Amino acid sequence: MTAMRKTSPASEPCPCGSGDTYSDCCGPLHAGAAAATAEALMRSRYSAYVRGDADYLRASWHPDTRPATLALDPPGTVRWLGLDVRGHRGEGDAATVEFIARYRVGGGSATRLHEISRFRRIDGRWYYLDGTFPGGDRTG
0.75 exceeded by the pTM?
yes
Number of domains in the chain: 1
Residue 80: inside a domain, yes or no?
Answer: yes
Q: What's residue 10's pLDDT?
A: 66
CATH number reported for the structural domain that contains residue 83 in this entry = 3.10.450.50
- DSSP class of residue 17 equals -
Asked if the structure places residue 10 within a domain, the reply is: no
Note the pLDDT of residue 137. 46
Report yes or no on 107 lying in a domain: yes
Q: Are 35 and 29 in contact (CB under 8 A)?
A: yes
Query: What pLDDT score was predicted for residue 76?
Result: 83
Residue 17 lies in a domain: no
Q: Which residues in the chain come in under a pLDDT of 50?
A: 1-6, 137-140
The whole domain housing 42 covers 22-139
